[in-house]
Amino acid sequence: MKNIKAISLGLLPLLSGMAMGQNVQKQPNLVVIFCDDLGYGDIGCFGNPTIKTPNIDRMASEGMKLTQFYVGAAVSTPSRSALLTGRLPVRNGMYGERNHVLFPDSKAGLGQDEITMAKVLKENGYATACVGKWHLGAFSPYLPTDHGFDSYFGIPYSNDMGTGRMGRAQNYPPTPLLENNLRIESNPDQGEITRRYTEKAVGFIKDQKAGKPFFLYFAHTFPHVPLYTNDRFRGTSKRGLYGDVVEEIDWSVGLVLKTLEECGLDENTLVIFTSDNGPWLTQKENGGTAGSLRDGKGTWWEGGFRVPAIARMPGKIPASLSSEIMTSMDIMPTFLALAGIALPKGVALDGVDQRGLLFERQASARDEVFYWWGSDLMAVRKGAWKLYFKTIYDMYLPSMKIVDCEVPELYNLETDISERFNKSAAQPQIVAQLVEVANRHKQAMVIKAPVCDLREEFKQ
């Protein structure tokens, strides 16, 4: 009885449209392809000179290339939580003061009181799948299948968190590969993981061909280090192994788009391609590049928070370049609005509906960006201007040194993309205005306790 009721409710918009004799548009399919540590300058259409990404470039030429797109944090766990909940990490608890991401010995994950877009879409009749890196909790009740996804296949945290890898603790378990909530392999061959993820993602799309609308969250493990690829891609790029790995991701994007076309789903599917944070610069040649942007992952310079982004829906999203401001947190309210689904009641969202920007080329629904690190608001952007309250002395030091700005530093991101020229002395009124924006934002913020600090080693 319960199932029949759910099906009836899911068909309601369709049936009511048919009754009125309208040309019924099925609810759109929704896909997010989320890379790990892919920098602003790492793909061809964002200016990389030696990494070939013809499929992603084609996606950009057919859709909207977003040159001022931001994530909710400059590292993995909080950024992913922001994408999926539409809320800043400081609001949803997925941050830490000592640990900025979850580790294999973390004691918790994204709380059941947080509502993901997958959960809302599933409750409203969507088929939902998560493929790839999760990093919001590696055991129940924190897994994708506990947060609104019908299925999951992937490595649940970063690929450098296995036994003894990258100087990590020797007592960490071997890197797990999960199917739903079961570990199906330990230490899977990472050279084959992009191919296996892609097969799962494509299989899911094919399964949905004639069924209900779907949401696919495809979160690549790469190009996060350690880098792996296979014989088909090794040595194919002038950029070395990093380039080979990105070129395999490009192949994967091409196959997802081709599958949508072959299934006749192309024009009713919105695909967003982006990254969880900027490039891991301290990995040298094994890390990416932020192009013209300053610094990278783990910093609140633009290279940490601003990532490449493309939105494609043929015939609906105009082929164009947009320098309007959008964030990953805007994806949830935009998706729900497109699907005709109400936002969750009583939940404070940091994302805004960006249908006007994507589909009508209107101005962005936001002109502000907030750059948090832990529970500190480090910088704020309004319009062209960005003001820093704290900055980083030298990110290449073994322990990153955060310093208070004696006088906040002010940069114009439209005339000075690389943040080289501090204008605070010349623009006191702009400084005062941005201080006011930051104060208003902080005063209204309800800060949640930090989940990422809950680890075995910190147990009292």
**Interacting residues toward Mg ion by CB under 5 A:** 36-37, 76, 276-277
Closest contact distance (angstroms) between CB of 36 and Mg ion is: 4
How would you classify the pairing of strands 64-70 and 320-327? parallel
Q: For residues 277 and 322, which CB has a smaller minimum distance to Mg ion in the complex?
A: 277
CA distance 67 to 51: 19
Residues 69, 327: contact at Cβ < 8 Å? yes
Residue 38 or 205 with smaller CB distance to Mg ion? 38
Residue closer to Mg ion by CB (options 37, 302) is: 37
Of the two residues 29 and 79, which places its CB atom closer to Mg ion in the complex?
79
Burial of 90 (0-12, 13-18, 19+ CB in 10 A): buried
Task: Walk across the sheet containing 376-382 and list its strands.
Answer: 368-373, 376-382, 385-392, 402-412
| Residue partners of 286: CB distance under 8 A and separation at least 6 | 225, 226, 227, 241, 242, 280
Within 13 Å of residue 180, how many CA atoms lie on the same side as its CB? Answer: 3
CB of 37 to Mg ion, least distance (A): 4
Q: How far is the CB of 34 from Mg ion (least distance, A)?
A: 9
- Distance, in Å, from the CA atom of 221 to the CA atom of 33, rounded to the nearest integer, reads 11
SS (H, E, C) 8-41: HHHHHHHHHHHHCCCCCCCCCEEEEEEECCCCCC
Report in angstroms how near the CB of residue 220 gets to Mg ion at its nearest: 10
CB of 39 to Mg ion, least distance (A): 10
Cβ 276 to Mg ion shortest distance, Å? 4
Task: Using the minimum distance from each CB to Mg ion, give the nearer residue, 195 or 224.
Answer: 224
Residue 36 or 409: the one with the smaller Cβ distance to Mg ion is 36
CB 349 to Mg ion: min, Å: 23
Tokens of 22: 């309208």
Closest approach of Mg ion to the CB of residue 133, in Å: 8
Does residue 141 have a cis peptide bond before it, meaning omega lies within 30 degrees of 0?
yes
Phi, psi at residue 403, to the nearest 5°?
-125, 140
Q: Pick the closer one to Mg ion by CB: 108 or 307.
A: 307
Nearer of residues 34 and 389 to Mg ion, judged by Cβ: 34
Residue 247 to residue 44: CA distance in whole angstroms: 10
Looking at the chain, how many residues does it have? Answer: 460
